[in-house]
Amino acid sequence: MDNPMIRALEERGTQPFAPVNDDIFILVLLFAGLLMVIALADRTCYLRQLFAGYSLGHSRRFSDEVRTSRSIYIRILLLLQTCISAALCAVNGLFASNGIASRSDMLNILLFGAAGVAAWLLIKTILYSIVNAILFTPPQTKVWNQVYTDTFIILGIALFIFAIVSTFFRLSVSVLSITALTLAALAEIWLAVKAFHIFFAKKYGSLQIIVYLCTLEWIPLLVLGKFLIQSN
């Protein structure tokens, strides 16, 4: 008997690999969206406070209120969502450039991509914590930590939207590359501006911000690069 559901599954199974046709990829995409839904549904209105504090400036009293223990978990979930969204974007970019042709390749990129972004964020956080504790005052460090993590959370939300669009609309490699680089550049520019205002004086601030950010941005990349070379 000709069953339409069975016929649709058979036709889907014979199609060439694509992220939009893969159940695991769509489940990971939905999981990243679920993390955002948890944050939106949180009773502390965490995302509303985050965006309000981000737009008003983290030095204001409203955005410097002590977070509840529940909000700490929400922040961790959103940082995890950033890592997953970055890995999803990497899969779409590599697929558009014919760098992924099978489910096994996709799973490797998702796993190692999310783990790599998480390791990169962790190394940067540790380095910033050590340097800031030595060079700057605790109030400055507190404001910077909030700006720093909130920037990556907002970047993760933008990457999640970008992952959805690139999955279902089959964007070209050039569009994917330009959009990803633009998002990363905007995040880095914002961090540089906030670091300049939080930490440095105007007289020598330009030179200090270059040394400060370049040193702490490149070290995690060099560490991860060396690890990947040795593992290969």
Whole-structure pTM value = 0.77
Mean pLDDT confidence for 35-53: 77
63 pLDDT higher than 60:
no
Dump the DSSP string for 111-174.
HHHHHHHHHHHHHHHHHHHHHHHHHS-HHHHHHHHHHHHHHHHHHHHHHHHHHHHHHHHT--HH
- Helix, strand, coil fractions of the chain, as percent rounded to 5: 85, 0, 15
CA–CA separation, 216 and 221 (whole Å): 9
Rounded (5°) CA angle 103-89-84: 85
pLDDT, one tens digit per residue, over 84-135 is: 999 999 999 999 888 887 888 899 999 999 998 998 888 888 888 888 888 7
CA separation for the pair 160, 83 (Å, rounded): 10
Question: What is the per-residue pLDDT across 79-90, written as a single tens digit (0 to 9) for each?
Answer: 999 999 999 999
Query: Residues for the chain: how many in total?
Result: 232
Q: What type of residue is 106? A: M
Helix (H, G, I), strand (E, B) or coil at 44: coil
Q: What would the two tokens of residue 150 be? A: 């909130």
CB atoms within 10 A of CB 170: 13
